[in-house]
Each structure stands twice: as structure tokens, then as C-alpha cells.
Chain A
Amino acid sequence: MAASCLAVPKNNEMSAQQTHQTIKNAYNAQVKQKSDKLMNYFLPSFFVVGLLLAIFYDTWPVAIGVGSLSLLAYYSVKLFLPRSDTYQYIVSLVFGIFMAQFIYQMHGLFEMHFVAFIGSAILITYQNWKLQLPLALLVIVHHATFGYLQYIGYDKIYFTQLDYMTLQTFIIHGILATVVFFICGLWAWQLKRLNERQIELTYEMGRYQEEQFHQKILLRSNEELKKSNKELDSFVYSVSHDLRAPLSSMLGVIGLCEMGNQDAFMQKNISLLKSSIKKLDGFIIDILDYSRNSRLGVKRQEIHFNELLADISNNLKFMGADEQRKVEIRIMVHNGVAFHSDQSRLSIILNNLISNSIRYQNPEVSNPFVDISVQVSEAAADILVRDNGVGIDRENQEKVFNMFYRVSNKSVGSGLGLYIVKETVEKLNGMIKLESQPGKGTELKIRLPNLVN
């Protein structure tokens, strides 16, 4: 008994991307936080270095004034624009200013130019190549103006200790600085890219593991479902047998009584007993059909309508109360192509419809009949069951498919028949339509898809 398998739910791509972005953002925030923390050490250290350098040439006002202005600029921007990255660009500028400050403080000591490179290296921590730009720009502007000023003889700015700097030296100086800024920018960019790739991989891995986990759970619950379905099926099988076996024994014994008794009064009582037991048995069968239809998966096999209908009408030969006449069952099957569907479900549908036609035959008509015509095509089978029975009032036609609905007190069924038919047709992805005229008869049209693939 195959339980219908649950489909693996597809992860929503949109929300997956959002989660992905969230993780990236969280990571970037972490990088930012750590780098900011480092700046809290570096910037004051630069300030302190300025103070130490002041000892050499007594440049205290510059060390304290420029240094504290730089720190003030940084911390105030960071305080007022905490969400934007502006303060990081300020850091970049501040490194440039410290370089200029230190060069000045050491009266043009050439090695002080390296401070710019230290700043450039420190900036890598933010993993943003653009942060190199303000520093580079400041260095260019500083070198150009101060170099020019010193060149024209204004020597109080202490740009260099050299009396004269050739253009060649200046160009090499510029190229080397550019290379440093470029490489530091490149490292920042690459670091960022590598980390993003790492996040992506980790994220994919996590998602994969999660998917595997869900798959496992799904498989297990599917197994459990299959098992409990199987157990339920064998339970229903035994219960139906144990309930129905005594009923059939009763019917058998009643049959014996009928054979041995000619008394009209007893015969009448016996037939009442019999119809009562048949009703109970029919009820059990209905419940069984219902439970099977709702639990079991759809099986697919080739349907031979002629055989199936012959079987059903043969089984229904002895149906109906004794006072009822035999109903003529006419079968017409046009099956040019093979039809595939679930045989036992089809059997439930046809059995119910044909027995309804027998049960609700019209005593007024001389030739009670039920016409069953089947038209098979590549796509579907159209089944038409038409009788000249009592029919159904217009206002009740909607309700006949309801569970436990019975049209009148005279109805002898369980009130489940057409409900089960509807449920079963739906399980086979089909459609059912009822047309009926009281006194004229009832017509049920069913279309079932050909489950050929």
C-alpha cells in the first residue's frame, strides 16, 4: 500500500537571498567594529608620537594643536554620523595629516614620509580600497604645495632636509608612494572579496546541511506514515472481516429458515431481518470504501470496462428488496484507446451508482433500466449512468453528495454512497455532474482523466 509521498518544499529563493544578505551585513558590521576598536589605539598613539617628537625641536603647539584637532575631527564625525562610513575617510585624512605633522616636527626628516605608508597599511583593516584615496590625495596635495613652497625658498615649512630635490627624485618618490597605496588598496579589496566568498561558501554549506536534515526528517516521517498506513490498512481489513463475518453467517442461517418455512407471516419477518442485515452490511462496506479511498494512493492499471461492468452487474444481480423488480442493466463501451486508472476506485464509483439506480427504481414505469455508457479517449473517460428511476427533487440535488445525506425516509442506504463517489472521483482528479428530474430519472456524468503516463 503506497502512501502518497510528501513533496520536498523548495526554499524560497527570495528569502534565501535576504538571509544571505543579512549574514553579509552582520559580517561587515563585525569588521567595522573590530577596525574601529583598532583605531582607538592607533590614533591616540599617533598623537602620543607627536608629543614625543615635540621634544626634539620644541614643536609642542603643533603636536598638541594639530594632533588634538585631528582626533577631535575623527571622534566628532564618528559620534554624529555613526551609521555612515564618513569617519573612516576622516581616519584616512588624519593619517595624512599626522604624516605632514611629523615631517614638520622632525624638520623634514625624510623617514617621516613612511608614516603615510603605516597609515595606508592600517587602513587595510576596513577592507575598503577607497579609503586609500583621501590619504593619497592629501599626500599629493601636501607634497606639491610644501615641496613648491620650499623650492621657492620658503624654508620654515620644513618639507625636506635636502636643499634641493631633483624632479627625478620627486617622481620616484611619487611612483613608490602610488605603488604602496595601490597595493594596500588591492589587499583591502581582495580581503573583502575573499571574505565574501567565504561567507557564501559557509552559507551554502549550512543551507545544504539544513536541506539534508529536512530531507532526513521528511524521509523518516514518510516511512512512519507508510508504516501506520499499512497498519491501519490491516486493521481495517481485520475489523471489516470480523464485523462482516457474523453478518454473513446470519444471512446464511436466515436463508436456511426461508428454505424451510412456507408460512407467510414468518416469511415476511424473515425478509425484514434480511434487509436489515443487508443494510448493516452495506454500511460497513461503505465505511470501508471511504477509509480506503481516503488513505490509499492511486494505483494505475489498464481498465477493461466491459469486464469490470459485467462483474459489477453480476454482483448486483441479487440486490434489492424482494418486492423490487430486476432492473435491466445496459452496458455500452466505446474504447478505441486503452484507459488507465485505479480499478478498485472505479469499481467503488460504478458499484455505488448502479446500485443506486437499482435501489431507487420507479415503481410506476414498466421497464426499469440503467444505461451505462463509457466513451474513452486519449485524455479521459466519460462515463454516463442514466436510469429511469424516481429521480431527485431540484432542491435536494445539491445535497445528495453530502455525507450521511438521505433524500427521504424511504432511502435504504447509509447516506454515504454518493459522498464516497464524489470523494473517489476527486481522488482520481475527475469531475462529476448530476442531472435529475423527479419521476423521470437521474443522470450522472463522470469524467475521469486517463492516467496513461
Chain B
Amino acid sequence: MDYKYKYVMVIDDNQIDLYIAEMVMTTTQFAEKVICVSSAREALAYLEPLDEKPDELPGLIFLDINMPEMTGFDFLNEYQHLPENIRKKCIIMMLTTSLDENDRKQAEDNQFVKRFLNKPLDRDKIAQLT
């Protein structure tokens, strides 16, 4: 089996959306393993120790915006303080239901965000990424 990514991380407080992302990416052979975390804090806690083991870092991170406690943008603020090793390896995609113009603009203006995608993640969108 040939997977596009070995590890892909999804940060979303909605369990169903995590499940959808995981299923779509694994069945389309987009990712070998999907790391599902349900909060931005959890994601940071996962990423930080991997400074030493860059091979285990996710090549792609799908980030939701609307989350309790820490939003997607809060995550991006923290993310910029992570070691360069980590930041170099990970590509961040916004994955959200938001159609808000400000959200889109803010995401596109962020240096770490590659693209702004609307939910749900499906086969067609994955195909576009490959």
C-alpha cells in the first residue's frame, strides 16, 4: 500500500468529524495513520515532545477553528513558539464550517496555514490535495 502521508493529525472537538476525517483519509489511502486529538492543547502536548523524533511528526495537520477553550487561531499563536524542526515538517490546513470572511482572511494571512477548507472532508477534497 502506498500512502501519501504516514501521519496526519486532525484537531477537532467534534468526535464525528474526527471519525469522518479518519475514515476518509484511511480509505482513500491518503494517510497511513490519523492522529485524532479533540483539543488544541492536546495537539500541542502531542507535538512538543516530537522535537526529538521528527519522523513521527504529522506531515499534515487539519485544524478546526471553532473549539472551546482554545480556538484554531489560539493554536496557531502557540504553534509559532514551537521549535523550528516541528514547524518545518508540518503543513497546516484549516478545516472548518465557517464561511466567515474574517476567518478566511485571518487564516490565509497566517504564515503557517496552507489552505482554508470547508467541512466536511470528503473524497473529492482529498483528491484535490493529492
On whether the beta carbons of B123 and A259 are closer than 8 Å, the reply is yes
> Which residue on B lies nearest to A255, using beta carbons?
B122
On whether the beta carbons of B124 and A252 are closer than 8 Å, the reply is no
On whether the beta carbons of A248 and B101 are closer than 8 Å, the reply is no
Complex Cα gap A252–B15 (Å): 12
- With known contacts A285-B99, A343-B101, A253–B20 Cβ distance under 8 A: yes
Confirm or deny: A130 has a beta carbon within 8 angstroms of a beta carbon on chain B: no
Interface residues of A in 245-260 (CB under 8 A from B): 245, 247-249, 251-253, 255-256, 259-260
Confirm or deny: A288 has a beta carbon within 8 angstroms of a beta carbon on chain B: yes
B21 to chain A, nearest CB (A): 8
On whether the beta carbons of B119 and A255 are closer than 8 Å, the reply is no
Contacts of A241 in B (CB 8 A): 66, 97-98
A300 to chain B, nearest CB (A): 14
Confirm or deny: A190 has a beta carbon within 8 angstroms of a beta carbon on chain B: no
User: How many residues on B have C-beta within 8 angstroms of the other chain's C-beta atoms?
Assistant: 22
Contacts of B98 in A (CB 8 A): 241
User: How many residues on A have C-beta within 8 angstroms of the other chain's C-beta atoms?
Assistant: 22
Complex Cα gap A249–B15 (Å): 9
Confirm or deny: A208 has a beta carbon within 8 angstroms of a beta carbon on chain B: no
- With known contacts A259-B123, A285-B99, A288-B99, A245–B24 Cβ distance under 8 A: no
Contacts of A57 in B (CB 8 A): none
On whether the beta carbons of B120 and A344 are closer than 8 Å, the reply is no
On whether the beta carbons of A259 and B27 are closer than 8 Å, the reply is yes
On whether the beta carbons of B122 and A252 are closer than 8 Å, the reply is yes
Residue in contact with B14 in the complex, picked from A245, A251, A255, CB distance below 8 Å = A245
Interface residues of A in 21-62 (CB under 8 A from B): none
Binary CB contact string for chain A from 249 to 283 against chain B (1 if under 8 A, 0 otherwise): 10111011001100000000000000000000000
Complex Cα gap A294–B101 (Å): 16
B102 to chain A, nearest CB (A): 9
Interface residues of B in 80-119 (CB under 8 A from A): 97-101, 118-119
B126 to chain A, nearest CB (A): 10
Confirm or deny: B50 has a beta carbon within 8 angstroms of a beta carbon on chain A: no
Confirm or deny: A318 has a beta carbon within 8 angstroms of a beta carbon on chain B: yes
Complex Cα gap A421–B124 (Å): 29
Confirm or deny: A20 has a beta carbon within 8 angstroms of a beta carbon on chain B: no
Contacts of B119 in A (CB 8 A): 245, 248-249, 251-252
Q: Top 10 closest A-B pairs, CB basis?
A: A252-B120, A252-B20, A248-B119, A255-B122, A249-B16, A344-B101, A244-B97, A248-B120, A251-B120, A248-B97
Residues of A within 8 A of B (CB): 237, 240-241, 244-245, 247-249, 251-253, 255-256, 259-260, 285, 288, 315, 318, 343-344, 347
A-B contact pairs, 15 of them (CB 8 A): A237-B100, A240-B99, A244-B97, A245-B66, A245-B97, A245-B119, A251-B122, A252-B20, A252-B121, A255-B24, A255-B123, A256-B24, A259-B123, A285-B99, A344-B101
Residues of B within 8 A of A (CB): 14, 16-17, 19-21, 23-24, 27, 66, 97-101, 118-124
